[in-house]
Amino acid sequence: MTDLCYQRLVKRPTVDEVLQELRRWEGIIVHFSGVPPGMSAGTNLAFPADLQYVIAGNAQRGISCSTVRPGDRFEAIPPSTWRNSWGCIGVIVRPQHPWSLVGVDRHDAGSGVPPNGSWFRHCKHSDIDLTLREVIDSLHTRDPLDCNEWVMRDYDVLGVLVQPPFSARGFGQCASWNEIATAFSAERLFTLQPNGLYEVNHNGTLGPMISLASLYP
């Protein structure tokens, strides 16, 4: 069973409007491993197979993402438990059309894949209009000690975000650099530093700074 967003019977901001707000906020859209493991893709895959499944385009019916930017925290630092993402390794995506953005929330949108075999990821906006104001609020009113959620369908893959300490397979279990480089040997790798987004070489060295406009023109 499909929803009104899939049928394009509800209103959505244009792709240009959404990307313009992301550039203003200086952020990117990322589907992280371990959200929980594989379930955002409607499967039960573990790292790195869950992200490889998304990269291959097999999760076009919906993935749970969060928007992140320079200065965000990707792993809880005890005794604090807060973070701005659901992981440290994820796939950077871009919408193909307005209805790629199913829904947004400044916190957890409560999205899920119902057990009806359709594998469409649903959230509260699936059957109602989504306004540009709601998109803006999901960015600018995101709790500084929490994650937001964007549900994406029909996405393009731009690369893989890797953030120390490379938590994968569930929080607290970290991947080695060799595992990351091998699993994503064909993908561009990126990392967020306090002053911006950088490309990362597959040998682990830091490459050039990347403008958001080049990812989200």
3-class state of residue 83 by DSSP: coil
CA nearest neighbour of 4 among 124, 107, 109:
124
At residue 213's C-alpha, the angle toward residues 143 and 144, to 5°, is 10
3-class state of residue 175 by DSSP: coil
Evaluate whether 34 touches 83 at the Cβ level (below 8 Å).
no
If one counts every other C-beta atom within 10 angstroms of the C-beta of residue 16, the result is 11
pLDDT tens by residue, the chain, 217 residues? 689 999 999 999 999 999 999 999 999 999 999 766 556 666 778 889 999 999 999 999 999 999 999 999 998 888 888 899 988 999 999 999 999 999 999 998 888 887 766 778 989 999 999 999 999 999 999 998 999 999 999 999 999 999 999 987 665 678 999 999 999 999 999 999 999 999 999 999 999 999 999 999 9
d(CA 131, CA 44) in angstroms, rounded, equals 32
d(CA 207, CA 200) in angstroms, rounded, equals 5
d(CA 213, CA 137) in angstroms, rounded, equals 21
* Residue-level pLDDT at 192: 97
d(CA 135, CA 22) in angstroms, rounded, equals 9
d(CA 23, CA 66) in angstroms, rounded, equals 15
